[in-house]
Amino acid sequence: MEGRKVTLRDLAMKAGLSVNTISRALKDKEDIAPATRKLIKDLAKDMGYIGNALAGSLRSGLTKTIAVIVSDVANPHFGIMVKDIDKTARKHNYTIFVINTEDDYDMEERAIFTAIRKNVDGIIICPSQRSTDNIRFLQKNGVPFVLIGRRFKDEPEFDYVICDDEKGGYLATKHLVESGHRRVLFLNGPNRISSAQERFEGYKRAHDEAGLPIEEDLIIEVGASAGDTKQVVRQLIEQKADFTGIFAFNDVIAWEAVYVLHKYGYRVPDDYAVIGFDNIQSRLFIPFQLSSISNSKGKMSKRAMDIILHKINHPESKERFHEVIDTTLVLRESTK
């Protein structure tokens, strides 16, 4: 048998049974006795047989695969989210494959084309938001999809699952202000991103509530690449910028900021208080404990899978899904 793939006919000849019996046993059909099913499955494993997924998909119209397109798999936030999506997918006998876009529009376009060419049953995507064109293409193509983590407010026909970014921004800033920090540096993500816009709205609400003005010099957009934040914070320290609290768009940005502060001999939280977003340390145990906004990655991931499965299994449904998962403040040692 070496040198070619094992077929159902090979199993049938070895077992002395019909191809139909072999096929039904491997599919766990109840008209085949349990002992016979086990015998055939053991034989298939021993002979190295693997079913042809393509042939199965041609019969059913489904490939049982879902593409998950994210902007940065190096960010533990997305790693945790992908793992939770995979966990839910496996419960429904689905396999996922992940495509990283580096938050780049052209790479996102190629990722969508690749997923469609692979005949995936659905796509879960965290969009780059440089344009709606890529998502419009998905819509025209007809493949079921759901946005995760970001949304297009002006496009109500796009289904999404996000966290309450505005509330998260509000809670983080409010805590810093109430802790005595009158000048809070906001290291925000790119403004094209809905979550960056909404976290800024929360930042503003906390200031308005406290009667504090919004200082434009304290709102800085940092790049998504590793090292971008370090350069920004280094310049601020050397310029002796006036701030005592930092609210970062995500935990990775917050960690980079803390790294630079420590390099310059400052202590957190004694000299500067820092709060991140994503609560990565709910899953990763890192010696330095960062205060953060929890955005319930597990709930977001499970809900995104529930929605995509509903859309796959009910293609005629016109139901819209606009889901906002609650956010909470988790305090650790980076704030007093």
The model's confidence at residue 16, banded by pLDDT at 50, 70 and 90, is very high
User: Which residues are CB-contacts of 288 (< 8 A; sequence separation ≥ 6)?
Assistant: 255, 258, 333, 334
223 pLDDT above the threshold of 90 = no
Q: At what angle do helices 8-15 and 19-26 cross, to 10 degrees?
A: 110
What is the maximal distance between C-alpha atoms in the chain? 84
Structure tokens at 315: 């293609």
Q: State mean pLDDT over 180-199.
A: 96
The model's confidence at residue 324, banded by pLDDT at 50, 70 and 90, is very high
Q: How do residues 43-84 score in pLDDT, each as one tens digit?
A: 988 888 877 655 555 455 688 999 999 998 889 999 999 999
Separation of alpha carbons 204 and 214, rounded Å: 7
Judge whether 8-51 and 63-163+297-325 match in fold. no
C-alpha to C-alpha distances, 248 to 45, 67, 114, 231, nearest whole angstrom: 51, 29, 34, 15
Structure tokens at 309: 């499965």
Q: State mean pLDDT over 165-190.
A: 97
- Domain made up of 8-51: CATH architecture: Orthogonal Bundle (1.10)
What CATH code would you report for 63-163+297-325? 3.40.50.2300
Looking at domain 165-294, its CATH superfamily turns out to be Response regulator (3.40.50.2300)
What do you get for the CA distance between the two ends of the chain, in Å?
68
Q: How do residues 120-135 score in pLDDT, each as one tens digit?
A: 999 999 999 999 999 9
Q: How do residues 251-268 score in pLDDT, each as one tens digit?
A: 999 999 999 999 999 999
Give this prediction's pTM. 0.84
Side chain identity, residue 302:
K
Q: Which residue intervals of the chain are DSSP H helices? A: 8-15, 19-26, 34-47, 53-60, 76-91, 105-117, 133-141, 165-178, 194-210, 228-238, 251-263, 297-313
Mean of all residue pLDDT scores within the chain: 92
- For 197, half-sphere exposure in the C-beta direction (CA atoms, 13 angstrom radius) is 10
Q: What is the pLDDT of residue 85?
A: 96
The DSSP-derived string for 184-216 is: EEEEE--TTSHHHHHHHHHHHHHHHHHTPPP-G
7 pLDDT above the threshold of 90 = no
224 pLDDT above the threshold of 90 = no
Nearest alpha-carbon partner for 88 in 18, 30, 24, 161: 161
**Phi, psi (deg, nearest 5) at residue 180:** 105, 5
Q: Which residue has the tokens 């190629």?
A: 110
Q: What is the pLDDT of residue 51?
A: 72
Q: State mean pLDDT over 161-168.
A: 98
Q: How do residues 264-311 score in pLDDT, each as one tens digit?
A: 999 999 999 999 999 999 888 888 899 999 998 899 999 999 999 999
Q: What is the 3-state secondary structure (H, E, C) of 110-173?
A: HHHHHHHHCCCCEEEECCCCCCCHHHHHHHHHCCCEEEECCCCCCCCCCCEEEECHHHHHHHHH
The model's confidence at residue 136, banded by pLDDT at 50, 70 and 90, is very high
Domain boundaries, the chain: 8-51, 63-163+297-325, 165-294
Asked if 278 contacts 295 with a C-beta cutoff of 8 angstroms, the reply is: yes
The model's confidence at residue 26, banded by pLDDT at 50, 70 and 90, is confident
C-alpha to C-alpha distances, 317 to 3, 62, 249, 276, nearest whole angstrom: 47, 18, 36, 39
Q: What is the pLDDT of residue 6?
A: 82
